[in-house]
Structure 1
Amino acid sequence: MTWLGVYRAATPRVYSADNTTVRLDFDNEPQPDALLRLEEAVGGNSRISEDDYLEGAPELIVEIASSSASYDVHDKLQVYRRNGVREYLVWLVEDQEFRWYIWQEGTYHQQQGDESGVLKSPFFIGLWLDVSALLAGEMQQVLSVLNSGINSSEHQSFVEKLG
C-alpha cells in the first residue's frame, strides 16, 4: 500500500509491512494486508521475535475485504479489539466503503471524516486519507491529502517526539 509506505518514509521509527504473520496471542496469528507499527523503543506494542515473526499488537492494521459480510468485519475486528490494536481499517471493496475503527477504552468506535470527508489517524499524526478519492481510484488525490498531513505542523511535532 503506497499510502502507508509514503507515510512511513516521512515518519522515523515507524515501520510498515504487508501480509506479515502477527502473533497476537496463543490462538491468533492473522496476516493483515498491511500494518503500521511504532518502534518498541518509543512505545510500540509489537516486536520482531527471534524467529522473525511480529509479536504483539501493531498500532494500525489494514484489511481489504470483499464485502461487509466478510470475516474481516466481524471476527477479526473482535480479535484485534481484544488484543489492543489501536486502529483498524477495513476497505470493503464490493460495498465501496471504507471503515476506520479507533480503539478507545476497550472497544472500537468507527471514525467519521472531517468536513472534507478526510479521515485522520489520532495515533499516527499526519496520516490522512481522502476516502472518496481512494474509492474513486484517484491515487494522486489520495497522496496529495496524505502529503498535506505529512507537511502539517502536527506531524512535525510528532516526528520531533519520536526523536
Structure 2
Amino acid sequence: MSTVIEPRRARSARRPLPMLQSGDRLKQPEFHRRYLEMPAGQKFELVEGRVFMPSPVSGPHGIFDNLLGALLVFYRSQTPGTQDMGNGTIILDQVNEEQPDQCLWILPAFGGQTRLKNRKYVMGAPEWVGEIAYSSVAIDLYEKQTAYERNGVHEYLVYCVPDRTFHVFDFKAKSQITPDARGILRSRAMPGLWIDTAAFRSNKAARALKTLQAGLDSQEHAEFVARLASAKKRRKTSGGRSIDRR
C-alpha cells in the first residue's frame, strides 16, 4: 500500500505591522512593537496615548541640549548613585513612552524609583527630566508635563528657546522653582545641580560649569551624596534587585 505524504504547508509570512503615524492613538505595548519595526533614524514618542513625531532638530535646540547634557554628565561624575541619559527611551505607563532630551535619575541600588526592562529600557519615572523646547512648547508644557507629574517625576525643567525662559516644576511640592538673586536655579530633586541661567542663555559653558562646581562643593550636595550611600547600604543589606526581565 502506498502512502501519500502531504506537503508541509509553508508557514505564512508574518503580516507587517502598520506604520506609526503622528496622531495615532495607541497603548504603549503596541506603540513599542510598531516602533521597533520603523526605519532607523525616525523618532516617535507616545505621550498620553497619542503618537508624536518631533520636528527636525534645529541648531539652537541642539546647542542647548548639548550644554544641558554636559552639565548633567559633570554632575553625575561627582554624584555616585546617579545616572544621566540623553534622548533615551523611558516607559512610564500604558500610555506613555517618551524620549526626553535629558534626564537624570537615582540608580535603583541607591534607592531610585526606576528599573531596567530586558537590560535595555528605563521603566518608571526618572527623578529629574529636562526638555529643550523650540517647536515643541505646546507638548512639553502640557501633555508631557501632565504625564511626568502623574507618573512620579520629582522635578521637570523646560527651557524654551524662542523666548529664552526657564520653567522648572517641583512636582512633589506642587510649586515652581525660580532662580535666586544671582540667577541660579538650584535643583531640589538633585541637590547641588545648580544652573546659571545667564550663562546657559549665552551658551557660556565655562561659566556654567564653574557655577555647577560651586553647587557640587556645597553642603547640600555633600549631604545628598551621604544619603545615597546610606540608601545603597540599606538596600544591599535587604538584597534589593533592580532588573526587570519581563
Normalised-by-shorter TM-score class: over 0.9
- Percent of aligned pairs sharing the same letter: 39
Q: Does 1:28 align with 2:28?
A: no
Aligned pair partner of 1:144 in 196, 199, 210: 210
Equivalent in 150, 158, 162 of residue 224 of structure 2: 158
Consecutive unaligned residues in structure 2, runs of 5 or more: 1-68, 230-246
Q: Given the alignment of the two structures, is residue 49 of structure 1 paired with residue 124 of structure 2, yes or no? A: no
Give the aligned partner of residue 189 of structure 2.
Answer: 123
Residues 61-109 of structure 1 deviation map (CA, whole Å, 9 limit, x = unaligned): 011111584311111001101111001011101111111111125x4x2
1:90 aligns with 2:161: no
Query: 1:63 pairs with 121, 124, 131, which one?
Result: 131
Distance 2:145 2:71 in 1: 22
Q: 2-side partners of 1:126 and 1:84: how far apart?
A: 21
Higher helix content, 1 or 2? 2
2:171 to 92, 100, 103: 103
CA RMSD of aligned residues (A): 1.4
Task: Say yes or no: does 1:80 pair with 2:148.
Answer: yes
Higher normalized strand content (fraction of residues): 1
In the alignment, the residues of structure 2 paired with residue 159 and residue 8 of structure 1 have an alpha-carbon distance, to the nearest angstrom, of 11
2:105 partner letter:
R
Q: 1:151 to 1:26 in 2, by over 3 A?
A: same
Give the drift of 1:161.
Answer: 2.0
Contact 2:130 2:156 in 1 (8 A): yes
Q: Which residue number in structure 1 is paired with residue 72 of structure 2?
A: 4
Q: State the TM-score, normalizing by the size of structure 1.
A: 0.93
Check 1:137–1:72 CA distance in 2 against 1; reply closer, same or farther (3 A cut): same
Structure 2 vs 1, CA of residues 138 and 28 (structure 1 numbering), >3 Å: closer, same or farther? same
Task: Determine helix, strand or coil for the equivalent of 2:140.
Answer: coil
Runs (4+) of structure 1 exceeding 6 A deviation are none
How far apart are the structure 2 equivalents of 1:12 and 1:51? 20
Question: For residues 42 and 122 of structure 1, do their structure 2 counterparts lie closer, same or farther at Cα, with a shift above 3 Å needed?
Answer: same
Residues 1:82 and 1:136: Cα distance change in structure 2 (over 3 Å) = same
* Change over 3 Å in CA distance of 1:25–1:145 after alignment to 2: same
Aligned counterparts of 1:161 and 1:71: Cα–Cα separation in 2: 35
